[in-house]
Amino acid sequence: MSDKDADREIPLEDGEEAEPSESTESMPEPGKSAADSEEAVTDAVDASVRRAETVGSGDSAESPEKRKAASKKAVICAAVVIVLVVALGGANAAGLFHQHTWKEATCTTAKTCEECGATEGNPQGHDYEVTEKEATCTLPGKKVYTCKRCGDSYSEDNGEPAKGHTPGEWRVDTASMKSVQYCSTCGLPMASEELTRDALEQAMSTQDFTLDDIYKVDSGSGYKYIYKDQIGLDVTNHTDKIVRSADVLVCAYDGSGLPVSVDLSFYRGHDVVSLSLDDVNLAAGASWSSRSSNWGWDINGDSTDKMIQFRGCVSEVTFTDGTSWSNPYATAWMSLYSGKSL
């Protein structure tokens, strides 16, 4: 029998159904693993052998030539399957069945497929630029390295030591009742101490409206119940506005500096009273005095001998433009003077 005859379709016996071709039924699916592909090859070869045996044993009258042709056909089918499996496996490994969606490389990661995680190439690496950071009062100088692409940053000392604070002005902290010294360079607090009367008086002496003096004006009469002594004030307007009125807090003390009640014609028995300068209309930069204006606050005759010394604090000022100013130190002043000895 010729090879041509062997390639011809083998006639089927009555009732025998055509078997599916091994080349298609054993075809591995794209994307299968190597283990799956090897199993498919084995199955395909086994199927071809079984086919050959079936053909050979199904017809004992078949000539050796026919059996040989059937076996040859089975081997050819198995070879085709093997070739297809190898080709498909290689194509899958090469990524022919997957289109990568690439995410560009960064400073620290290579170009990466967002779907399968495959990488290509190398990370870009950081591209640092260097800036010098001058030393401050508390920190040494630094070299700062910053990546121009991703912003990653680190620093190292440049050899310049911290400069240290420069002593500046003292300010009153009413919340903590302390005097605080601030650095004139950076503005940070550098020292503190308990608030004293002297420190508070110094701070109030630089305010926009100041109480320059508070004193007792003697009437010069022996009849103090009729010709009463008075409390007098001297004040100065340091603003560029006209002062319409002002209120001044006052405490009184005896000759030994012990606190006594402020006993005035309109106030009796108080440790602190508020004296009002109504309609004073004090011009910008001008001063006002009870001595020159003949304006004071009458002391009751039976208390004038007790009230020898006075301390005061401007609490509020109203300007002719309708604005006002409240002294932030008034509460601290009250806590240091009210009911306390000098």
Joined tokens for residue 227: 């010709």
Q: Say if residue 266's pLDDT is above 90.
A: no
Q: pLDDT of 176-193, one tens digit each?
A: 999 999 999 999 999 999
Joined tokens for residue 140: 């040494």
Tell me the pLDDT band of 269, cut-offs 50, 70 and 90: confident
Distance CA 66, CA 11 (A): 12
What is residue 254's DSSP assignment?
-
Query: Can you give the pTM of this predicted structure?
Result: 0.58
Residue-level pLDDT at 256: 95
Burial class for 89, CB neighbours closer than 10 Å (0-12, 13-18, 19+)? buried
265: Cβ contacts below 8 Å, ≥ 6 apart = 228, 297, 298, 299, 300
Tell me the pLDDT band of 103, cut-offs 50, 70 and 90: very high
Residue-level pLDDT at 305: 92
Cα torsion 63, 64, 65, 68: sign:
positive
Work out the percent of the chain whose per-residue pLDDT is above 90. 60
Cα torsion 294, 296, 298, 299: sign:
negative
Residue-level pLDDT at 94: 57
Backbone φ and ψ for 173, nearest 5 degrees, come out as: -105, 100
Q: pLDDT of 19-48, one tens digit each?
A: 444 444 444 444 444 445 456 545 655 665
Mean pLDDT lowest for which of 8-12, 104-108, 326-330? 8-12
Q: Say if residue 319's pLDDT is above 60.
A: yes
Average pLDDT, integer, range 245-261 = 96
Q: pLDDT of 132-166, one tens digit each?
A: 999 999 999 999 999 999 999 999 999 999 999 99
Work out the percent of the chain whose per-residue pLDDT is above 70. 77
Residue-level pLDDT at 298: 94
Distance CA 152, CA 145 (A): 8
Place of tokens 């500096």: 257
Joined tokens for residue 233: 């004030």
Average pLDDT, integer, range 314-338 = 96
How many CA atoms does the CB half-sphere of 8 hold within 13 Å? 9
H-assigned helices in 108-250: 197-204
